[in-house]
A and B are shown apart, each in its own frame.
Chain A
Amino acid sequence: MHRGKGMKFVGDSRIKANHRMPNVPKDYSEYPGKTEAFWPNFLLKEWMVGAVFLIGYLLLTVAHPSPLEGPADPTKPYTPLPDWYFLFIYQLLKYTYASGPYNVIGAIVMPGIAFMALLLMPFLDTTPERKPSKRPLPTAFMMLTLASMFYLTWESVVNHDWVAGKAQGAIVHEVEFDKESEGYQAYSASSCIGCHGGDLTGGAGPGLTNTGLTADEIKNIAINGSESGAMPAGLWQGTDEDLQKVAEFIESLKSE
């Protein structure tokens, strides 16, 4: 044991390493330019960059609480959207020659080729040049890939119905109500129940619990249709008296 402090251990069984490289850092003067010791000078600067980054990160966290939709229910209809960094593949799979019978091209072959090309980059681009301008082909391929990823992500974002996407997964707070009540009787006798469901939790139309609407606003929608036009005008076929009962019943459906 000749290294370090020349330590001797009781019952030492280790092989002696006599030919190790001396583990002494080079003198600062052996480095060109304005080098800096990693510890503690440079690490302090990295720490400051990290602190600034952390402030932005925490502001994001506080300003936008992470989303949580209703509990998973495989029996309900739902059109899923992947996390944002998969959106370009999601969009790719909408095109004719990357979907349906050609699904394997869009889902496996193209991402597979791209990933393998990235993995094997050092063996595809073997010139000693490092400047992007002196290796035009790899630079051009990477720019093309970035442009297509950006374009596909953009296309998927503008073609997605974000309002409907948000509504389909929203947490529904169950509201208890009496199915024998006059209001529910009038509701279930009308055509409302066809779209809004027997439990008023929605179906083709949205759920009617916790709408936050007044009875008059509900009556207006029943007669004139919804603002978005998803529910057309003139769907209410019953009497004004029943409509009043239904509207008051829906207004009363609030969870605590």
Chain B
Amino acid sequence: MLNKIYDWVDERLDITPIWRDIADHEVPEHVNPAHHFSAFVYCFGGLTFFITVIQILSGMFLTMYYVPDVENAWKSVYYLQNEVAFGEIVRGMHHWGASLVIVMMFLHTLRVFFTGSYKKPRELNWMVGVGIFGVMIGLGFTGYLLPWDMKALFATKVGIEIAASVPFIGQMIKVLLAGDATIIGAQTLTRFFAIHVFFLPAVLFGLLAAHFIMIRRQGVSGPL
């Protein structure tokens, strides 16, 4: 049955080469923890992607209850945390995942750095990776405000002041993020919500796609 469906689609779309591009390749010995235990350092990139997928899924479920508005944001998070079935688990996974993804990405960056894997011909992939690092930091910063509790508000005030101290364009960045030249309030919350769930994920998906296409094209760097 499955084979018949596959053949039906393949006859029309010729999907076998796509499948080969994605999955049909050899994994060299030096990155395989089954052969060299120390090769577990090559797992950090995959684990970063694993947590990213969990963040996307848990985030999608969180938006089913979360209300991005100053009156109800905190109440909706409180309800989610204390009343919704497994709400505490879903929010907990999103909360801890946000930290773990930074840890794993940091370790992945160090592995690539200390194995010298960013050298020719992989310069572009390294730069895209640093871009992903920046986007993740941005996701962490914007997500910190969304529960709209005391630490969220006051930490974001400091963060926006730091952004405003950028020479020449600081004030523009501040107004773009906060929605107002002086007030950190209702506008800021909706903007951070939009940035956190639409803008940055869109950039992230593009960069991740580039990252993965490049690693498939170039292959993993050879043994040291």
On A, residues with C-beta under 8 Å from B are 3-5, 7, 23-26, 28, 31, 33-39, 42-43, 45-46, 49-50, 53-54, 57-58, 60-62, 64-74, 76, 78-85, 103-104, 107-108, 115, 118-123, 125-126, 128-132, 135, 138-139, 142, 146, 168-169
Contact = CB atoms under 8 A, between A and B. Distances in A.
Nearest to B121: A122
Nearest to A34: B29
Chain B facing A: main interface SS: helix
Contacts of A35: 26-29
Given A49-B33, A57-B100, A128 B119 contact: yes
Given A46-B46, A66-B92, A118-B130, A36 B149 contact: no
A60 B184 CA distance: 33
Contacts, number: 208
Contact of A4 (B17, B30, B113, B149): B17
B144 to A, nearest CB: 6
B126 A121 contact: yes
B127 A37 contact: no
Given A46-B43, A71-B148, A107 B33 contact: no
B118 interface: yes
A72 B155 contact: no
Contacts of B110: 142, 146
Contacts of B93: 57-58, 61
B101 to A, nearest CB: 10
B149 A71 contact: yes
B150 A25 contact: no
Contact of B33 (A45, A81, A115): A45
Contacts of B29: 33-36
Contact of B95 (A66, A70, A129): A66
Contact of B150 (A37, A121, A128, A168): A168
A203 B96 CA distance: 32
Contacts of A78: 150-151, 153-154
A34 to B, nearest CB: 4
Nearest to B78: A68
A25 B93 CA distance: 39
Contact of A85 (B51, B102, B155): B102
Nearest to B21: A23
B75 to A, nearest CB: 8
A185 to B, nearest CB: 32
B123 A122 contact: yes
A131 B114 CA distance: 7
Contacts of B130: 115, 118-119
B209 interface: no
Interface residues of B, number: 87
Interface string B137-160: 100100010011111111101110
B23 A39 contact: yes
A122 B126 contact: yes
B4 interface: no
A169 B119 contact: no
Interface in B42-71: 43, 46-47, 50-51, 54, 70
Given A68-B147, A80-B155, A122-B120, A36 B33 contact: no
B149 A38 contact: no
A78 B17 CA distance: 59
Nearest to B75: A71
25 contacts: A5-B11, A7-B12, A25-B25, A26-B26, A34-B29, A36-B32, A37-B27, A39-B23, A45-B33, A49-B47, A62-B92, A67-B95, A69-B151, A71-B148, A74-B153, A76-B150, A78-B154, A80-B155, A82-B144, A82-B158, A84-B99, A118-B109, A122-B119, A125-B116, A130-B119
B32 A34 contact: yes
A128 B221 CA distance: 13
B165 A108 contact: yes
Interface string B85-117: 000110111111111101000000110011111
Contacts of B149: 68-72, 169
